[in-house]
Chain A
Amino acid sequence: MSLLEVKNLGITFGGLHAVEDFNLTLEKGDLYGLIGPNGAGKTTVFNLLTGVYKPTSGTFYLDGKELKGKKPVDINKAGIARTFQNIRLFKKLSVLDNVKVGLHNSMKYSTLTGILRLPGYFKVERAMNEKARELLHVFELDGEADTLASNLPYGKQRKLEIARAIATNPKLLLLDEPAAGMNPNETNELMETIRLIRSRFDLTVLVIEHDMNLVSGLCEKITVLNFGTELAKGPTEEVLKNPEVIKAYLGE
């Protein structure tokens, strides 16, 4: 069974088809790219897959479980985590606490245990700290564990967002322009990190990206969106040679 199965997914905003008839099948472990010009509906696809928007047509399944119409919280619990194009960190929390919020549903103790400082509090907090630091280490953020998230430089903020998403223990990770604002060196590093986390955390990754180096270096397959519909789909090399795709990107 495929990990993610998207069937004819679509949404209209006031008569405008923002995304129409979107189909996608991801196998476990895939590194898949979603590209297209600005306004093609890529982020809208993410918003549909994470429950921020309710689809007006079609449906999608994760591990055979239908998730259409579910709330973002339940979709995350089912195993989809994401990052955001315009970084959305918990700015007034420390870097460590940002990741610990991600661990919220996998490591638990009750509110009362927390207030009364019962033994469970110390035990779980210790485990959470360990796990969170482990994740920060993967992204080379362990030195900044106690820094406020808003004080991190831009590139590290993007990494922290990925770390937080992985903390929720997802099966499928959606990355929305992870390399935006990074220089070529940082982008290469990021590619390494993404490959690393895929194998280390058993992830399937769907990534939106404008940086063609990252897309061709990282993704085995891609889908090209234009005006909310699929323009091409297949192995990255082939699709990028497709004249239709070149036309959509470069214009007539």
Chain B
Amino acid sequence: MKFLSQLISGISLGSIYSLIALGYTMVYGIAKMLNFAHGDVIMIGAFVVYTACVTGGLSPVLGVLLAIVVCTILGVVIERLAYKPLRAAASLAVLITAIGVSYFLQNMALLVFGSDTKQFSSVVSLEPVSLANGNLVITGETIVTIVVSLIIMIALYLFVNRTKPGKAMLAVSEDKGAAQLMGINVNGMIALTFAIGSALAAIAGALLCSAYPALSPYTGAMPGIKAFVAAVFGGIGSIPGAMVGGILLGIIENLSKGYISSQLSDAIVFAVLILVLLLRPTGIMGKKINEKV
């Protein structure tokens, strides 16, 4: 029973990683950049929910909606101001800029909200479900997280594969030049990708802080790094890869916490990542790239 309960909360944590990893992977796919500031967008999203619900007394649903709006705008603005001028620059220059944006968001939050850890109140009001005569208790947060993530992933999958803008996005990530020649608005598509990624980050922030209710300006950093790992795990640039990678990562992390050592769980997650990449150098679902000679 312990195993099952660990597994379920692992899937729940993993779904959050997936949501964040989707932002990483979509942005990587389309702009070929590692958006290191993505984790901090989660933190901003969580702070918006906190301010709206705890301080402002709004209902959780409104709070989350507000966070989605704020993060979407934030994502697009970041892309416009910091990354767009560097569209043609070396990837390392963009990476360092993203790190600068990450510092900026953290320190902005530090200035506005202070460095003390806030007690986040859950946006989920669902009662825990008790199964197997109370041996297996699943919290409302876990259920909502899994369900919400599942819906979002299905919706995203349908959007990318079935709609015109989604296909245009895929086209841009496949070949920017060709897409432009076909009349696709490349800049618009990149902005759209940042918007979607940031909206997902807002939801992930609300869910993350509902399950682990401590919020500080550094809250987004570690989940951000882990989601980045998850995206690479699944094969960066691949949308299904990010989903699978995130969930696997959550499961591995939770099982190592439960059965090996909670202090070493991060080390185990990272060690598994290294092993996976040694066996499959471009991740589980990544494409193999051959250099033309």
The answer to whether A and B touch directly, with their CB atoms under 8 angstroms apart, is yes
Kindly state whether residue A43 has any CB partner on chain B within 8 Å: yes
The count of A-to-B residue pairs whose CB atoms sit within 8 angstroms is 4
Kindly state whether residue A47 has any CB partner on chain B within 8 Å: yes
CB distance from A80 to the nearest CB of B (A): 15
Chain A residues contacting B293 (CB-CB under 8 Å) are 43, 47, 52, 84
CB distance from B248 to the nearest CB of A (A): 29
Closest residue of chain A to B290, judged by CB?
A: A13
Closest residue of chain A to B291, judged by CB?
A: A52
CB distance from A86 to the nearest CB of B (A): 8
CB distance from A155 to the nearest CB of B (A): 22
- Chain B interface size, under 10 / 10 to 19 / 20 to 34 / 35 or more: under 10
Within 8 A of B (CB), among A163-190: none
CB distance from A247 to the nearest CB of B (A): 29
Bound Cα distance from A84 to B293, whole angstroms = 8
CB distance from A29 to the nearest CB of B (A): 28
Within 8 A of A (CB), among B31-66: none
Interface residues contributed by chain A, number (CB under 8 Å):
4
Within 8 A of B (CB), among A62-117: 84
Chain B residues contacting A43 (CB-CB under 8 Å) are 293
Within 8 A of A (CB), among B270-293: 293
CB distance from B291 to the nearest CB of A (A): 9
Bound Cα distance from A47 to B290, whole angstroms = 14
Bound Cα distance from A215 to B293, whole angstroms = 23
Bound Cα distance from A151 to B203, whole angstroms = 51
CB distance from B268 to the nearest CB of A (A): 36
Bound Cα distance from A43 to B292, whole angstroms = 11
Chain B residues contacting A84 (CB-CB under 8 Å) are 293
Closest residue of chain B to A50, judged by CB?
A: B293
Bound Cα distance from A47 to B292, whole angstroms = 10
Chain B residues contacting A47 (CB-CB under 8 Å) are 293
CB distance from A15 to the nearest CB of B (A): 16
Bound Cα distance from A146 to B66, whole angstroms = 60
CB distance from A45 to the nearest CB of B (A): 12
Chain B residues contacting A52 (CB-CB under 8 Å) are 293
Bound Cα distance from A84 to B292, whole angstroms = 11
Bound Cα distance from A43 to B293, whole angstroms = 8
Per-residue interface assignment for chain A, residues 24 to 50, with 1 indicating a CB less than 8 Å from any chain B CB and 0 otherwise: 000000000000000000010001000
Bound Cα distance from A52 to B293, whole angstroms = 8
Bound Cα distance from A51 to B293, whole angstroms = 12
CB distance from B63 to the nearest CB of A (A): 52
Bound Cα distance from A47 to B293, whole angstroms = 8
Bound Cα distance from A52 to B292, whole angstroms = 10
CB distance from A85 to the nearest CB of B (A): 9
Closest residue of chain B to A46, judged by CB?
A: B293
CB distance from A252 to the nearest CB of B (A): 30
Closest residue of chain B to A44, judged by CB?
A: B293
Bound Cα distance from A101 to B293, whole angstroms = 20
Bound Cα distance from A52 to B291, whole angstroms = 11
Bound Cα distance from A49 to B293, whole angstroms = 13
CB distance from B169 to the nearest CB of A (A): 28
CB distance from B292 to the nearest CB of A (A): 8
CB distance from A87 to the nearest CB of B (A): 12
CB distance from B164 to the nearest CB of A (A): 32
Closest residue of chain B to A52, judged by CB?
A: B293
CB distance from A119 to the nearest CB of B (A): 39
CB distance from A10 to the nearest CB of B (A): 18
CB distance from B289 to the nearest CB of A (A): 15
Per-residue interface assignment for chain B, residues 103 to 115, with 1 indicating a CB less than 8 Å from any chain A CB and 0 otherwise: 0000000000000
CB distance from B288 to the nearest CB of A (A): 12
Closest residue of chain B to A84, judged by CB?
A: B293
Bound Cα distance from A40 to B75, whole angstroms = 49
CB distance from B87 to the nearest CB of A (A): 22
CB distance from B209 to the nearest CB of A (A): 47
Bound Cα distance from A47 to B291, whole angstroms = 12
Within 8 A of B (CB), among A156-212: none
Bound Cα distance from A110 to B293, whole angstroms = 31
Name B's A-contacting residues (CB within 8 A): 293
**4 A–B contact pairs at CB < 8 A?**
A43-B293, A47-B293, A52-B293, A84-B293
List 4 A-B pairs, minimum CB-CB distance, nearest first. Answer: A52-B293, A47-B293, A84-B293, A43-B293
